[in-house]
Amino acid sequence: MRSQGRTLFAKLWDSHVVADLGDGTALLHIDRHFLHDLGGSQGLKDIKARGMKPRSPELTFAVPDHTMSTARGRAGTTPAGVSLLQALREETEEAGVRLFDVGTPGQGIVHVVGPELGITLPGCVVVCGDSHTCTQGGVGALAFGIGSTELAHVLATQTLVQRRPKTMRVRFEGAMPVGVAPKDLILHLIGTNGAAGGTGYAIEYAGSTIRAMGVEGRLTICNLSIELGAKMGFVAPDDTTFAYVQGRMLAPKGAAFERAVAAWRELSSDADAEFDREVVINTADVAPQVTWGTSPEQVAAFDAPIPDPADIEDAGKRATVEAALDYMGLRAGDTMAGTRVDWVFIGSCTNSRISDLRDAAAVARGRKVAGHVRAWVVPGSEGVKRAAEEEGLDRVFTEAGFEWREPGCSMCVASNGEIVPPGMRAVSTSNRNFVGRQGPRARTHLASPAMAAAAAIAGMIADARKMGA
């Protein structure tokens, strides 16, 4: 009798088990470990204080991103940021860990440079002390965020104890409507399933829409897996993935690459594999999305009516929506279309890759940012920045009135004073619209790069499809 087919998750998990610890937990081998300026140097100091060295320093990579100013020339990096950078330099050098320092071709947001440099590869188990590590599942890896204690454990042992999650498959089916972006798809999924809809699951994104999508769009989809409550999200590798990986700085070369591809072709869920949960989204039903509240699940089509708390039976949920509308200064029944905005931020590990900048530039080209709006474009890496400048995208943005910045996390985490001022309303391509996320009392609407650019030009939330998206 033929055995039941296996999911891709099961194949990847099982192939990395060093020891079964029982009760659903296992000791996993970790293929790639990323450090950044927040916590990276401290992890190295922690194991050094215990008389240890990194078990496999060649499998750990470090990059400064969170606390670096993105102003030209890095002017404005705070003393704390300078101190963290210096500590990262010193500790990585002593430990033999490769650092992609400020201004070098490999520097940028950790979840952008991992796939971009060919460090993150199909089939890898990847960890980093940042919840949005799930982004890197877009190239077919099991990638997830870890805490400071786990970070030290990986450094010391190149392993990690983890509880095996359940499996979910989300299938996006159909052709992408004109003007709809990957960011819209994942926001729609979160809006229809809730911010806890993926809790306890490892999510495989599949379906005809995903297969037709480029790797950078898949990275965006996986990025917001954590906002769905899932620890990890991933896409099975295919020819699109292999073409993306080929030629990357640290990817296999020549015959080694061909052997790797032959192995990667085996990385898919069997046709008869069963998942603990299945979700199907008809892509044709998705319009450009904009969040109206203070959680990614509080989202709708930009021109749809804002929900009325009076229609919500659950008292707790009703109070949450009331609080969100009060904080955002919005009224039930209104649409977000036409809502005045003060700031626009195009960047973050969600939407700062070259395809994202091209989408935004298509809207900005030949137009001007509204006089009352301040708009920033922050490329996700030195590689993205240089590619954009070669294409002239930086000139498109600056001629339109956007500020062209250095690579880094920037306004996504409101570091180095790179914040939305109190009471101001921003459209952001980042992943979190929590209270205070972009600065005290800042009001954040999450949207795609094209929708963010349209808001900057119109001075209000507007339909990017009417501006060339």
172 DSSP assignment: E
Q: What is the average per-residue pLDDT within 450-454?
A: 98
The top-level CATH class assigned to 166-237+270-285 is alpha beta
Which residues 6+ apart lie within 8 Å of 405 measured at CB? 70, 71, 72, 347, 376, 377, 378, 379
β-sheet bridge partners, residue 127 = 33, 144
Helix (H) or strand (E) holding 201: strand 201-206
Q: Considering the chain, what is the average pLDDT of its residues?
A: 97
We find that the CATH architecture of domain 8-164+241-261 is 2-Layer Sandwich (3.30)
What are the boundaries of each domain within the chain?
Answer: 8-164+241-261, 166-237+270-285, 290-467
pLDDT digits (tens, 9 = 90+) for 312-328: 999 999 999 999 999 99
Q: Is the pLDDT of residue 116 over 70?
A: yes
One DSSP character per residue, 132-150 reads GGGGGGGGT-EEEE--HHH
Strand ranges in 218-318 using DSSP code E only, listed in sequence order:
232-234, 277-282, 289-291, 299-301
- Kindly indicate whether the domain formed by 290-467 is annotated with CATH number 2.30.38.10: no
Q: What is the average per-residue pLDDT within 22-39?
A: 97
pLDDT classification of 2: cutoffs 50, 70, 90: low
Q: Out of 209-218, 288-297, 414-423, which region has the weakest mean confidence (pLDDT)?
A: 414-423
- For the entire predicted model, the pTM comes to 0.97
Distance CA 214, CA 355 (A): 9
Q: What is the average per-residue pLDDT within 277-302?
A: 98
Q: Quickly tell me which residue has 């650092």 as its tokens.
A: 99
- Fold match, 8-164+241-261 / 166-237+270-285: no
